[in-house]
Structure formats: C-alpha cells, structure tokens
Amino acid sequence: MTDLVAGPLDRCVEALPRRYPGPGGAVAVLRDGEVLVRHAWGFANTARRIPFTPRTLFRMCSITKQFTSGLVLDAFADPTVLDADVARRLPLLQEAPPGALHLCHNQSGLRDYWAVAMLLGSPIEAPFGDTEAARLIGATHSLHFTPGTRYSYVNQNFRILSDILEDRTGRGFAELLRTRIFDRAGMETAFLAADTRAMPDGTEGYEGSQASGFRAAENRILWTGDAGLGASLDDMIAWERHIDATRDDPASLHARLSAPVAFADGAPAPYGFGLGRGVEFARQVFGHGGALRGWRSHRLYVPAERISVVVMFNHLSDAHGAALDLLGAVLGAPAPAAAPMLPDPAWLGAYIEPETGIAARLDMAGGAVRLRFGHSGERLVPLPDGSAGTGRTRVIPRADGQWMERPQENQASRLMPLRGPAATDIAGNYRCAELDATLTVVDAGGTLYGGFAGALGQGQMELLDPIAGDAWALPCPRALDHTPPGDWTLHFTRDAGGAVTGVQLGCWLARRLRYDRVG
C-alpha cells in the first residue's frame, strides 16, 4: 500500500468511531486480495465488557440474501425449475405467481411480510418465527405489482427460497451454507444465526445514540434465508478474498451472482441475486447492507479496482456511509463539490404517486429537496434545469405536471397534487378484507390517532401526520424489522355526498391495500 493511499485510509479509519459513534465496530478494506485494513474497536457487549475484535461474531442480516441466492445457483443451474415450488407456497394467490428468479431479484410483487405484520397488529418486539412466517406467506391473496415489472424489497422472497432449498435437497439451510459456501470460501466461524435473541459469544446490538444513551436491543425474530447469516470480520475477509481469487472464472459463484439482470421489459435492473448494482466514484460497485434493530453492516466490491470494503456496527449508525468513506479514501477520491445555490423549486408540496398510492411529500431541508416516499427520506439535489435528483430518484417539472422517475424500480409517473388542508372528518373503524385486519382512527381531544389490529395482536396508537386533502400519514417509528417500513399513507375515499367510505393504505414495501369503513 502506497503512502498516497495509507495516509488518507488511516485517517479515515481513525475517524470512524467518532463519526459513527456507538458501542463498537469493525472494518476491513482489501485490494488485489491484500488486506489493507483489519480493524476493530469498542465493545461487543458493554455490560460484560467484551471487546469487539475481528473474530467477534456479528449479525450480517440482509447480507445473507446473496448467500441464499448463491445456494440457489449452486444447487440449480436453472432456478426456474423451482417456480412450481414457489407457487405451492402461495395457495391463496389469485393471480399469476412470481417465479424463483423474481424472488432472487426482488421483483416478486409480494408485499414485505415485516411490513404486513405491523398491519396485523404485531407488537414491536413480538416473537416471529416459522409459524408466523408461514401464516403470512400462505395467506397472500394479491400482489402489489405484476412480477418482473418493478422492484420492491421483500424479505420473505429469500425465506421462501431457503425453505425450498431445504425441501428440495433434504438438508438443513445451516448445513447447506456450511458445505456449499462457508467451507469453500474459508469462512471458518460463519454460521446460521437464526435466533436473534442472543449470539453465542455474547455480542449485543444496541439501540439509541451517543446523545440519548445506548441500550441492548431486543429482537425475537427467527431468520433463515432472508437475514440469518452470522459471521466475524475475519469470515467476511475470507469471503472477499474468495471473490477476488475467483474473479476471472466466469463460472465462479460471484460471477453468477453479479451477472446482469433485467426487468420484464428489458430495462436493466440494479438489483439481482441479493446484490445491489450501482456506481460510486464513477466505478461499478456490487454490494448490500445488513440491518436489524441494534445492528448495521455493509459490504461492497469494486471489480475494476479489485477493492472490497466491509463495515460492521453493533449500533444504528450509517454503515453504508462509512463504507463509502473508506472506499473514497482508498481510491483517493476528492470530496464532492458543493452543489450550486439555487432558488427553492416552485413545485414543492404534497402529491400522490398514482401507481402505488403512496404520498410523495417534497420540501426543503438543509439546502436539498427532501422527498418522503420510500421507507426513509431522500435528499434530492436541485439542478439548474428546475428538476432535483440523485442517481436513484429524480423529480422533474414538465408541461403536463410533476414527474417522478425511479429507474432502480423501473418506474416513472406523473404525480397527482394534493390540495388544501388535510380533512379531519376521518375518525372511525376500517377493515381490510384481504388481510382480515382493522385500522382504527380516533379523535382524542381534537387530535387524530390511528392504530392497526389483526391476527398478530393490537398495535399501539400513533399520532397521525396531516399531509393534504384526504391524505394523512400514520408514522411507524419502530417495527419488527431493522427499520420501520416508513410512514403509511392513508388516502381516504368518499361517496358522492362527501362521506368517508374507506381508505387506501400503503407504504413502499406494502402497497394498495383497501380498507372499507365499518363504523
């Protein structure tokens, strides 16, 4: 490693614990198969004073998805032979089911079961295991888009795949991971950490912040192919070295995982086989994050430069941001130039995206346009042509109205403006026949609250956030999964006389669910 690289990289690593403060963490950077950085700091368990080391076992969470996809490709050269297995797990689905590749690429059209669990009233820290998963998956009646046409993140896609692998091979998922991937890659201590209640070496994940304090996060979910991987930093270094060592073999596992993927209309898809495909610092990058309450991780690989970066935090800091910091340091990339100061766009306001039925709220925050549409806010850079955007989303004023383009989801649509103050005559009881679930909206002393209930329990009441017209948001600040599914859009409907008859409810992970007013 040259001094030109070592200096910036060393300074970046040294700054991470303060820039992303929390109980502990570990990072690795590799280039040409050589380990440039292997560093850990802080504590894996603060109460027991267990240090965080490169051999600390860690919940890699959704980074598991590429390993599940790898098992599918390793066991079945043509994954479409599993399409009938997928269909059998969706016995109530009233439309054409997705295929196995749709699941691998998050193009299935299924609504994410962690999001749906909140609609069914699940308490935030409730147990969720095989029984609950099978119940939600088997009860699927409809999709929120035609398979292959759009992208939407769906955890149970990969749980379904791991269940099918077990049935087809007659071997447990943990054994398949060990024999078909871990042993081959030299991942000596990696394992299936399905039970989230504890790690065998005592490592904890933590909620909170440096300002508010940290506490051990409580998780009671049983993960499989969606997020069950447990691994140390040294295990992940072995995986990155395996990728580099097999980089020139077109039949290698990573070559197949990173093969180009498309939507049904031929448009390139930036996600496939459990890996995101993107561009950072003008280089193609493959990667994925991992997250659960108390845990954040990210790994990425830059094939042109043969660079790998791995980040693990046992707290809720931005592991993706830290990975980009490290990548920028090893590439010697200059800091991004400040965006030019432009007037606030005239099109700020509230809209409904018609295909999904989700509210798109646009306002200014910190010199950028804030878009609230997906599961978290996006910062869009104002551009001289009057639009605003990033590499993932762009909002464009046109003669026929305001358009939002999200190429990573293969979606472009004209937004429908919401006008006037939010209507307040919405209190009542609403029922979704498809989910056999209810939404209750209550006027509590002149302030509106809402809460869900269903087969998994009775969720807590949340203060509703007015949007405009007949649209409100029901916040979901905490949920079963690592990050809440985002604000639920409540778009109320009325009859010819103006009386509220129901509500269309949804978020990015679970769209277009109809609730009828029942009281």
Q: Are 368 and 358 in contact (CB under 8 A)?
A: no
Which pair of structure tokens corresponds to residue 257? Answer: 């995982």
Instruction: Give the residue from 74, 95, 72, 94 showing the smallest Cα distance to 85.
Output: 72
Instruction: Quickly list H helices, 263-332.
Output: 319-331
For the chain, give me the number of helices (H) and strands (E)? 12, 32
3-state SS class at 398: strand
Q: Are 509 and 486 in contact (CB under 8 A)?
A: yes
Catalytic residue list contains 413? no
Angle between helices 156-169 and 64-75 (to 10 degrees): 40
Phi and psi at 150, nearest 5°, equal: -140, 170
Tell me the C-alpha to C-alpha distance, in Å, between residue 95 and each of 113, 178, 446: 18, 37, 43
Q: Are 372 and 487 in contact (CB under 8 A)?
A: yes
Residue matched to tokens 């890996």? 275
Buried b (16+ CB within 10 A) or exposed e, 164-183: bbbeeeeeebbebbbebbbe
Strands 271-272 and 229-231: unpaired
Which pair of structure tokens corresponds to residue 56? Answer: 């600390």
Catalytic residue list contains 62? yes
Count of C-beta atoms within a 10 Å radius of residue 187: 23
Phi and psi at 297, nearest 5°, equal: -150, 160
Instruction: Quickly list H helices, 370-481.
Output: none
**Residue 339 contacts by C-beta under 8 Å, 6 or more apart in sequence?**
367, 368, 381, 382
Instruction: Give the residue from 92, 73, 434 showing the smallest Cα distance to 273.
Output: 73
The residues that bridge with 365 in the sheet, in sequence order, are: 368
Instruction: Quickly list H helices, 20-129.
Output: 64-75, 83-88, 100-104, 113-119
3-state SS class at 411: strand
- Alpha carbon of residue 390 to chain centroid: 18
3-state SS class at 206: strand
Which pair of structure tokens corresponds to residue 246? Answer: 């097999």
Query: What count of Cα atoms within 13 Å lies in the side-chain half-sphere of residue 96?
Result: 7
Residues annotated as part of the active site: 62, 65
